[in-house]
Amino acid sequence: MTLYEGKVGRTYSVASINLSTPVRRRLEILGMTEHASVSLINKSLSGAIVIKIRGTRFALGKAFAKGILIEGGAAT
Amino acid sequence: MSKAVHVAFVGNPNCGKTTLFNAIAGTNLKVANWPGVTVEKVEGKLNFQGQHFILVDLPGTYSLTSYTMEEIVARDYIMSDEVDIIINVVDASSLERNLYLTLQLLELGKPVVMALNMMDIIKERGLELDLHRLPEMLGIPVIPVSARKKTGLKTLMHAVQHHSERHDDKIEHHDHGAKNSAGTHHHSHHDEYAMVYDDDIEDRIDFITALLKGSGPSMSNYRWHAIKLLEHDAEVMKTITIDLQGLNDKNFETEILNERYTFIEEIMEEVLPDRDMKSESTDRADRLLTHRVLGIPIFLCIMAAVFLLTFTLGDFIKGYLELALEWFGGAAEGMLLNISTNPILTSMIVDGIIAGVGGILTFLPNIIILFIALAFLEDSGYMARVAYVMDGVMSKIGLSGRAFIPMILGFGCTVPAVMASRALENPRDRLKTILATPFMSCSAKIPVYVLISGIFFGGYAPLAAFSMYLIGLMMAILVAFAAGRLDKKKEENTLLIELPEYKTPNPRTVYVYVSQKVKDYLTKAGTTIFMASILLWLLLNFGSGGYVGEGSIADSFAAKMGAWLVPVLTPAGLGFWQIAVALISGLAAKEVVVSSISILFGIAEADSAALSTHFAQIGFGPVNAFALMLFVLLYVPCLAALAVIKRETRSWKWTGVSIAIQLGTAWIVSTLFFQIVSLFIK
């Protein structure tokens, strides 16, 4: 499942990042490494999302949201 | 006096680093910068307890790899011999992510003091941070500060003073990971380094260090270079070319990154055990402000309020400034006459410089109000939400949501709007935004719309003026869309923006932000306008026969130039030399179009009744008038805007392209309008 398909209000674990190397590096530096836990906070009508990772909120465009594979999904 | 201690301020974007820097550097502040966008390093000075400090603010950065220019600039500077000590500014409310940079700073081998900022947010959330355990885990002093309330600053500088010369303290770090594995690595590094990697990586670091000591270039920090070689860091790989005997045969970047975050998790468990409590106030505000349906309407209401303030309040103050300017111009003229100054010189000073430069000064109230509002939106944390809310709309024209902010600002003034495009990370997004922004009808064009539509369109005048805003917006979107289409490199939607916690804007940050804008506006635009005003006056008052004076302006160079442009402007219904000169003079500032028209037609004030007679005499009707408004809306913005476009694109080529697009669309749109409408209305 990708982050784009995730449910708002749930916390997932990052399985892998399927994006170009520079984008993946940027995300990793922000703490989005494999197995890091990521909470989906908000989703816009156009597919942009708000996530919280390692204590910080980020807004991500739709293409990024679709490139991040996740697993789990506990309610928060 | 002892040697000055160089202190580098390093931290993540949005950690309050610049606010802290301003608070410490105080009145000795040399240059301020954009929140979140310290483009170059900025210096300040401080005397503290007899010690002289040079404080250096570096660009906010998440890491010290070498993937972006900012990171390389920051890293090279920190590694240079000049820096004696690092102040690592850390946002306590997102400690976990901030610590990633801290771990990298520790590896640079320079003394580090942590300034733990935003502790009040931690307290507001009802959390407790273990301030004794954190320094133990990291082996550096940790000083809680509040950049906004200016607390803890003395303690921080005291710690800096103490630690700037103590490079080789023995520290006993928390031996992380040791409880889980016996460990086969034969060195214990925990008394030397906070961040110790797993045995395989540590072995490799030791071997590479030995190789570097044997045959590598001389360097001060072997361990850091060894780690960077394992990470395949592009810059370090370039400088160190010795044979590493396959020790870095693969890229260990991801392993190293994961180990750092594993250590950070250990730290977090120790110092902030109940960190998962929700940051409720921000979440509550976001439920409304970033609502999937209401988000956009709320944003539009906020912007409407901002512009209402900018125009009503700004124009109110502007009226008084104009009166003052008029008085000053009159007084200056009187004084110059009294001391019998040459009338030509008097005319140049009064009609040229005071009218030109002074005219620009009257827009200062609008600029200040707009930027106070902007600083509020930005410092409160809302601006980042706008990028998220508008991302869907903007992605349809090939831009990320962030690009919307500078475009909206273009309604006020193109100069700050183009500068605001700096906040965009992607250089191509930045360029597209800079190309589109001048089409957003700026406030300087209002006098033109008011005068022209007042003469020709009677009761429909407000509608005619309003249509300019819509046409301008449409052209901006069209240009951005076309630029996106021509852009061969297709990129994914690049929105990636941190949404900081909401906070009350800090007066000092707002002040620094606004005063910087005002200074920019006065100096950069002022010098350009000053030169342009003199040039314009010369062209209007001199002809091939020398000084022509006001009476025979038709013999001036300006009139000749205007006549030369007539054939080009005729298809657009603007083939009158006076109009041509007015348009040329409008390059100095758009309001000048209005004043030029009155001077050119020999009328003291912009008297619409008299003007309409004159217009009728030369055969300039309503269709010509609307074409003129279209042309003024779309053609090249003032010189100040061009100067800022040049400064921001750092390219003559793109400045030229921008001018060509504006002149092209202005001519095409007004010609199309004039030709088509002339078919029906005769």
Query: Which residue type does B493 have?
Result: N
User: Please, which residues 289-328 of chain B have a Cβ atom closer than 8 Å to chain A?
Assistant: 290, 292-293, 295
The sheet with strand B51-57 has its strands ordered as B42-48, B51-57, B5-11, B85-91, B112-117, B142-144
Q: How many residues does chain A have?
A: 76
pLDDT tier, B13 (very low <50, low <70, confident <90, very high otherwise): confident
| For the ranges A29-33, B143-147, B528-532, the one whose mean pLDDT is highest | B143-147
User: Using alpha carbons only, how large is chain A's radius of gyration in Å?
Assistant: 11
Size of interface A-B (CB pairs under 8 A): 113
Residue pair B413/B366 in contact (Cβ under 8 Å)? The answer is: yes
Is B94 within 8 Å of A56 when comparing Cβ atoms?
Answer: yes
* DSSP collapsed to 3 states, B20-54: HHHHHHHHHCCCCCECCECCCCEEEEEEECCEEEE
pLDDT tier, B32 (very low <50, low <70, confident <90, very high otherwise): very low
| Mutation target among A44, A58, A66 for the B interface, most CBs of B within 10 A | A44
Is B400 within 8 Å of A22 when comparing Cβ atoms?
Answer: no
Q: Which residue has the higher pLDDT, B353 or B491?
A: B353
Structure tokens at B271: 């110092």
Residue pair B445/B590 in contact (Cβ under 8 Å)? The answer is: yes
pLDDT tier, B272 (very low <50, low <70, confident <90, very high otherwise): confident
Is B496 within 8 Å of A58 when comparing Cβ atoms?
Answer: yes
Count of CA atoms in the C-beta half-sphere (13 A) of B434 = 31
Is A61 within 8 Å of B496 when comparing Cβ atoms?
Answer: yes
The pLDDT value given to residue B568: 92
Q: Find chain B residues with C-beta within 8 A of A27's C-beta.
A: 496
CA B65 vs CA A31, B42, B237, B496: distances in Å: 14, 21, 12, 19
The pLDDT value given to residue B89: 95
Q: Which residue has the higher pLDDT, B143 or B465?
A: B143
Q: What percent of chain B has pLDDT over 70?
A: 82
Task: Identify the closest residue of chain A to B12 by CA–CA distance.
Answer: A30
The pLDDT value given to residue B19: 82
- The DSSP 8-state label assigned to residue A2 in this structure reads B
Is B298 a residue whose pLDDT tops 90? yes
Q: For residue A9, is it left (φ>0), alpha (ψ between -120 and 50) or beta?
A: left
Least-confidence region, from B391-395, B458-462, B550-554: B550-554
Is B497 within 8 Å of A58 when comparing Cβ atoms?
Answer: yes
* DSSP collapsed to 3 states, B555-571: HCHHHHHHHHHHHHHHH
Distance, in Å, from the CA atom of B637 to the CA atom of B648, rounded to the nearest integer, reads: 15
Distance, in Å, from the CA atom of B362 to the CA atom of B543, rounded to the nearest integer, reads: 31
Is B594 a residue whose pLDDT tops 80? no
The pLDDT value given to residue B600: 63
- The DSSP 8-state label assigned to residue B146 in this structure reads B
Q: Find chain A residues with C-beta within 8 A of B497's C-beta.
A: 58-59
Is A46 within 8 Å of B393 when comparing Cβ atoms?
Answer: yes
Structure tokens at B319: 């009226």
Is A57 within 8 Å of B392 when comparing Cβ atoms?
Answer: no
DSSP per position, B500-546 = PPP-PPPHHHHHHHHHHHHHHIIIIIHHHHHHHHHHHHHHHHEETTE
The pLDDT value given to residue B277: 56
Residue pair A39/A10 in contact (Cβ under 8 Å)? The answer is: yes
The pLDDT value given to residue B191: 66
Query: Which residue type does A36 have?
Result: A
The pLDDT value given to residue B169: 53
Mean pLDDT for B206-224 is 82
Is B606 a residue whose pLDDT tops 50? no
pLDDT tier, B509 (very low <50, low <70, confident <90, very high otherwise): confident
Q: In 3D, which of B36, B81, B35, B31 has the Cα closest to residue B56?
A: B31
Q: Is B233 helix (H, G, I), strand (E, B) or coil?
A: coil
Distance, in Å, from the CA atom of B472 to the CA atom of B159, rounded to the nearest integer, reads: 56
| Mutation target among A3, A39, A52, A54 for the B interface, most CBs of B within 10 A | A54
Give yes or no for B502 touching A (CB within 8 A).
no
pLDDT digits (tens, 9 = 90+) for B167-190: 555 554 555 554 444 455 555 666
Distance, in Å, from the CA atom of B114 to the CA atom of B405, rounded to the nearest integer, reads: 34
Count of CA atoms in the C-beta half-sphere (13 A) of B632 = 37
pLDDT tier, B475 (very low <50, low <70, confident <90, very high otherwise): very high
pLDDT tier, B33 (very low <50, low <70, confident <90, very high otherwise): very low
The pLDDT value given to residue A65: 92
Q: Which residue has the higher pLDDT, B622 or B191?
A: B622
The pLDDT value given to residue A4: 93
ipTM here: 0.93
Q: What percent of chain A has pLDDT over 90?
A: 49
Is A23 within 8 Å of B492 when comparing Cβ atoms?
Answer: yes
Least-confidence region, from A45-49, B63-67, B112-116, B507-511: B63-67
Mean pLDDT for B81-103 is 90
Measured in whole angstroms, the distance separating CA B634 from the mean position of its chain's CA atoms is 24
Q: In 3D, which of A22, A35, A34, A27 has the Cα closest to residue A51?
A: A27
Q: Find chain A residues with C-beta within 8 A of B283's C-beta.
A: 41
pLDDT tier, B78 (very low <50, low <70, confident <90, very high otherwise): confident
What are the φ/ψ torsions at residue B544 (nearest 5 degrees)? -60, -25
- List domains and CATH numbers for chain B: 5-163 (3.40.50.300), 199-271 (1.10.287.1770)
Structure tokens at B535: 């040039």
The pLDDT value given to residue B649: 86
User: Please, which residues 406-435 of chain B have a Cβ atom closer than 8 Å to chain A?
Assistant: none
Is A20 a residue whose pLDDT tops 60? yes
Q: In 3D, which of B219, B187, B191, B180 has the Cα closest to residue B205?
A: B187
- The DSSP 8-state label assigned to residue B396 in this structure reads T
Give yes or no for B62 touching A (CB within 8 A).
yes
| For the ranges B63-67, B144-148, B280-284, B493-497, the one whose mean pLDDT is highest | B144-148
The pLDDT value given to residue B28: 44
Least-confidence region, from B268-277, B284-293, B347-356: B347-356
Is A46 within 8 Å of B96 when comparing Cβ atoms?
Answer: no
Task: Identify the closest residue of chain A to B253 by CA–CA distance.
Answer: A25
Distance between A64 CA and the closest CA of chain B, angstroms: 8
Q: Find chain B residues with C-beta within 8 A of A25's C-beta.
A: 65, 67
Mean pLDDT for B470-477 is 87
Distance, in Å, from the CA atom of A23 to the CA atom of B438, rounded to the nearest integer, reads: 31
The residues spanned by each domain of chain A are 3-75
Least-confidence region, from B9-18, B501-510, B549-558: B549-558
Q: In 3D, which of B237, B218, B533 has the Cα closest to residue B361?
A: B533
- The contacts of residue B269 (CB under 8 Å, 6+ apart) are none
| Mutation target among A33, A37, A46, A51 for the B interface, most CBs of B within 10 A | A46
pLDDT tier, B604 (very low <50, low <70, confident <90, very high otherwise): very low
Is B498 a residue whose pLDDT tops 50? yes
Q: In 3D, which of B117, B106, B101, B92 has the Cα closest to residue B271?
A: B92
Q: Name residue, tokens 């030791």.
A: B206
Least-confidence region, from A39-43, B529-533, B567-571, B588-592: B529-533
Beta strands, E only, B131-223: 142-144
Task: Identify the closest residue of chain B to A56 by CA–CA distance.
Answer: B94
Distance, in Å, from the CA atom of B205 to the CA atom of B226, rounded to the nearest integer, reads: 5
What are the φ/ψ torsions at residue B86 (nearest 5 degrees)? -110, 130
Is B295 within 8 Å of A60 when comparing Cβ atoms?
Answer: no
Determine the CATH number of domain A3-75: 2.30.30.90
Distance, in Å, from the CA atom of B473 to the CA atom of B437, rounded to the nearest integer, reads: 9
The pLDDT value given to residue B532: 66
Query: Which residue type does A14 have?
Result: V
Mean pLDDT for B479-494 is 74
Q: Where does B62-175 have alpha helices with state H?
A: 69-79, 95-107, 119-124, 133-138, 153-163
Residue pair B571/B669 in contact (Cβ under 8 Å)? The answer is: no
